[in-house]
Structure 1
Amino acid sequence: MAPRGASRLVDELGTLLLGAPLPLSVRCWDGSETVVEGAPTLVVRHRRALRRLVHAPGELGLARAYVSGDLDIEGDLYTVLSLPDQLPARPDLHVDRRALARLGGRLLGAGVLGPPPAPPPEEARVRGTRHSVQRDRQAVSHHYDVGNEFYRLLLGPSLVYSCAYFPEPTATLEQAQEAKLDLVCRKLGLEPGMRLLDVGCGWGSFALHAAARYGVSVTAVTISAAQVALARERVADAGLAGRVDVRLQDYREVDDGPFDAIASVGMAEHVGLAQLPAYAARLHALLAPGGRLLNHAIARGPAAGPDRPDPGSFLTRYVFPDGELQPLATHVRVLEEAGFEVCDVEALRRHYALTCRAWVRNLEQRWDEAVRLSSPGRARVWRLYLAGSALAFEGRRTGVNQVLAVKPGGDSRLPLRRPDWSRTANRDRADDGDSTSS
């Protein structure tokens, strides 16, 4: 039987959006429904969801409808988000306004037309010069200052918000995050007495690991006030206050180099293409001759070219205001032009897909608590963002890489042959006699 009422209208809008019939069941506010056997269900709770799509015909309208709760999904979210990938030509989720106008009479009859609904309060609003220190603080605050307990629920006890390193696919998230922290320490060649700069330190997990396991002195900087508060608390609880200095400070404001090693893990994505040369030059200036830099960053595929952020994208409006992804080649070029010698590159794309799926599981398993700690809209933002990110890594649209570089002029102590970075040194497991390798 052909669908009736609002569900029929939703089917037609879905066809315009995907360029193919909507392969989902649909249930609408007026009680009408379309059933596709075995498929997830798109629940349109309010006609306002379609009004959002009319005024922002594409990804932004859909995101606003989902984040606000006007639109919901019953069934597997990954299946719904992967639908565009199943089509012959992956669409950009954009509705042609002329095609939309042809449904004008139907939209009017369904009560869909009207003034644009206010965006959900979780939508970012940043002001000022792009990638200035002041605007970067606003952008970082939007993403990170949403409640430390929410992030503890999402990330787990490790409180590490970057790609984990899975010794094996069955490893737990905590095991994989510890393996990643140790991987970075070993690539940097950390030894007792060294000075380490942790750029974009988050909640201090890497700084704590490096200080406790490798005996280094760490300067850890972030521009998130919430992160600083919890990182300092964790440092004090670990008895490492004399060895780890956590600062509310932009990396551009650090002036007490040189450091023997620098780690930048999951921070370069916030810098922006125009600022990357200055970013690389600043880290080069802060590093001692012979010192190592580990730059860990998400990347776009080389064929895609530099990212030009779409102001109407879900990620820009709700997740990473002003965030920009560059191809791996751009990161390597910028580091070399700043005077670094690039010594090692490791791709961790598949590891990040596993990481994102683990975070989604954490969120879904404690959904009611996540909502209480943030807001219904914020929890929805993170569920959509992380599930979509997992699919992007699995689909090779996005990658993540660790680039190890050395500042010439001193003894970097790099071995003649490339080490097996994946092998955890026995001394790091001396407490339980175990060692991890892949």
Structure 2
Amino acid sequence: MADAALRLTTLAEELLGAPLPVRIRAWDGSEAGPPGAPTLVVRHRRALRRLLWRPGELGLARAWVAGEVDVDGDLYEALDLLAGIFWERGGERRSAVRAVRAARDPRLRAAALGLLKLGGPLPPPAPPAEEVRRRTGPLHTKRRDKEAISHHYDVGNDFYELVLGPSMVYSCAYWDEAGTLEEAQRDKLDLVCRKLGLKEGDRLLDVGCGWGSMAVHAAREYGARVTGVTLSREQAVYARKRIADEGLTDRIEIRVQDYRDVRDGPYDAISSIGMAEHVGRVRYREYADQLFSLLVPGGRLLNHQIARRPERNESAYRVDEFIDRYVFPDGELAPLGRTVATLEDAGFEVRDVHAIREHYGRTLRAWVANLEKAWPEAARSTSAGRARVWRLYMAASAVSFERNRIGVNQILAVRSPGSGGSGVPLRSRDWR
């Protein structure tokens, strides 16, 4: 077979009802598609079996993680071109291939059959080892949340050092005046501290403390006394060593603890940076109530969280299968309005919402560049499949932020004392 690419392109365009926006290079060395476009490299016909068995994002993701599919050329451009197929068309979320699966048009059925013949006999191979197997039981129990966090974060601190760089901050940086990723992450941490109004001796609870970056910055630069909680043992080990190396063990305590089990309030301030995405809709009011109860009157919460766009029919919202199976098991994104409303229902006074969507696209591109630069070492430190997961997830996320499919916001909320002022400066955007 020396024309697999042409046959594959023809069949794909028949299914899509539109020209394929990328070039195809097949396992037999043949190529077809628009000249000069990024090239989707199909290294093995097994990839087609995966797509036919699970049409849409999950089938393609399995082929990518297994190394059966790759992109030659600009990965971001390829993802942007493919976004209309796998993300949105006509304002409704759909997969073109999944839509065809149930089509009655004989021409489309014939195209699907052609792909089946080209790909070889079903069923496909087993999913890659990096995929989370199907979970059972209620969402967001403490046990299930701990397992989900371990899947994402306990993949090796060496790997995260290569991707995140010296800052070891795994959330959106703030590119106000910064020229490097490290400067932008430092500026983000400082922005959070200023919004919280931290001063010498304040008690800060850092929920989802990661590798200790926020805790170190708040203690070293502002004199805060910090308690950081995480469900990742690898993060806790790393953070404790880092704190000891900084000589800050008298100011910072790191615990492997669920935020629902924190009982030693009140705190003057709480930072939650990139953690609330793990909480889930069924637990979000509990999360808001818990943080409210842990603050002193007048205490501030800085909630830094990714948000999705609202759906016309919220009951139709579905978690992205690739993200759920390979990246953030049980993670859920909520619209900004729902998050603000839930915080207010819990008793918080929301004082500021700061949208920094464009900053996350730039941050993710910096992480992808770090990963690609250190690719052999990164793959050795975890697995080649997991490195491919992170490359696809971060690049696709960058495109999502840049296309305004998702955003990220810093919400400053106060446990108001009941009367009088909130303590937040009138010219709050100065954050002095």
Same fold (TM over 0.5): yes
Q: 1:348 to 1:101 in 2, by over 3 A?
A: same
How far is 1:107 from its partner?
4.0
Q: Which stretch of the first structure deviates more once superposed, 198-207 or 119-128?
A: 119-128
Aligned length: 419
**Aligned counterpart, 2:27:** 29
**Aligned counterpart, 1:224:** 232
Asked if 2 retains the 8 angstrom alpha-carbon contact of 1:165 and 1:351, the reply is yes
Q: Does 1:378 align with 2:386?
A: yes
Looking at structure 2, the residues matched to 31 and 339 of structure 1 have their Cα atoms a distance apart, in angstroms, of 62
Looking at structure 1, the residues matched to 95 and 17 of structure 2 have their Cα atoms a distance apart, in angstroms, of 9
Asked if 2 retains the 8 angstrom alpha-carbon contact of 1:11 and 1:22, the reply is yes
SS at match of 1:372: helix
**Aligned counterpart, 2:114:** 106
Q: Does 1:416 align with 2:417?
A: no
Query: 2:424 is matched by which residue type in structure 1?
Result: L
Q: Does 1:261 align with 2:263?
A: no
How far is 1:104 from its partner?
5.5
Q: 1:315 to 1:34 in 2, by over 3 A?
A: same
Asked if 2 retains the 8 angstrom alpha-carbon contact of 1:311 and 1:317, the reply is no
Query: 1:414 is matched by which residue type in structure 2?
Result: V
How far is 1:382 from its partner?
0.7
Asked if 1 retains the 8 angstrom alpha-carbon contact of 2:52 and 2:116, the reply is no
Query: 1:413 is matched by which residue type in structure 2?
Result: G
Looking at structure 1, the residues matched to 195 and 315 of structure 2 have their Cα atoms a distance apart, in angstroms, of 28
Q: Does 1:74 align with 2:38?
A: no
Give identity over the alignment, percent: 58
Asked if 2 retains the 8 angstrom alpha-carbon contact of 1:349 and 1:393, the reply is yes
Query: 2:81 is matched by which residue type in structure 1?
Result: L
How far is 1:236 from its partner?
0.9
SS at match of 1:118: coil
How far is 1:14 from its partner?
3.1
**Aligned counterpart, 2:101:** 97
How far is 1:259 from its partner?
0.5
Asked if 2 retains the 8 angstrom alpha-carbon contact of 1:15 and 1:22, the reply is yes
How far is 1:89 from its partner?
4.2
Query: Which of these residues, 327, 331, 341, is aligned with residue 319 of structure 1?
Result: 327
**Aligned counterpart, 1:430:** none
Asked if 2 retains the 8 angstrom alpha-carbon contact of 1:306 and 1:325, the reply is no
How far is 1:17 from its partner?
6.1
Query: Which of these residues, 163, 169, 185, is aligned with residue 160 of structure 1?
Result: 169
Query: 2:75 is matched by which residue type in structure 1?
Result: L
Asked if 2 retains the 8 angstrom alpha-carbon contact of 1:200 and 1:222, the reply is yes
- Where do 1:20-419 residues align within 5 Å? 20-85=18-83, 89=90, 92-95=94-97, 96-98=100-102, 101-103=109-111, 105-107=113-115, 109-110=117-118, 112-125=120-133, 126-168=135-177, 171-302=179-310, 310=318, 313-409=321-417, 412-419=422-429
Structure 1 spans left out of the alignment, 5+ residues: 426-438
Structure 2 spans left out of the alignment, 5+ residues: none
Asked if 1 retains the 8 angstrom alpha-carbon contact of 2:348 and 2:416, the reply is yes
How far is 1:98 from its partner?
4.3
How far is 1:86 from its partner?
6.2
How far is 1:365 from its partner?
1.2
RMSD after superposition: 2.2
Cα deviation digits, residues 20-45 of structure 1 (max 9, x gap):
22122222122332153211211111
SS at match of 1:114: coil
Asked if 2 retains the 8 angstrom alpha-carbon contact of 1:309 and 1:316, the reply is no
SS at match of 1:261: strand
Q: Does 1:5 align with 2:9?
A: no
Query: 2:159 is matched by which residue type in structure 1?
Result: F
Asked if 2 retains the 8 angstrom alpha-carbon contact of 1:310 and 1:316, the reply is no
Asked if 2 retains the 8 angstrom alpha-carbon contact of 1:292 and 1:407, the reply is yes
Q: 1:156 to 1:18 in 2, by over 3 A?
A: farther
Looking at structure 2, the residues matched to 179 and 305 of structure 1 have their Cα atoms a distance apart, in angstroms, of 38
Looking at structure 1, the residues matched to 30 and 355 of structure 2 have their Cα atoms a distance apart, in angstroms, of 48
Asked if 2 retains the 8 angstrom alpha-carbon contact of 1:259 and 1:291, the reply is yes
Looking at structure 2, the residues matched to 108 and 308 of structure 1 have their Cα atoms a distance apart, in angstroms, of 30
Query: 2:52 is matched by which residue type in structure 1?
Result: V
Q: 1:286 to 1:19 in 2, by over 3 A?
A: farther
SS at match of 1:153: helix
Looking at structure 2, the residues matched to 64 and 83 of structure 1 have their Cα atoms a distance apart, in angstroms, of 20
Q: 1:408 to 1:16 in 2, by over 3 A?
A: farther
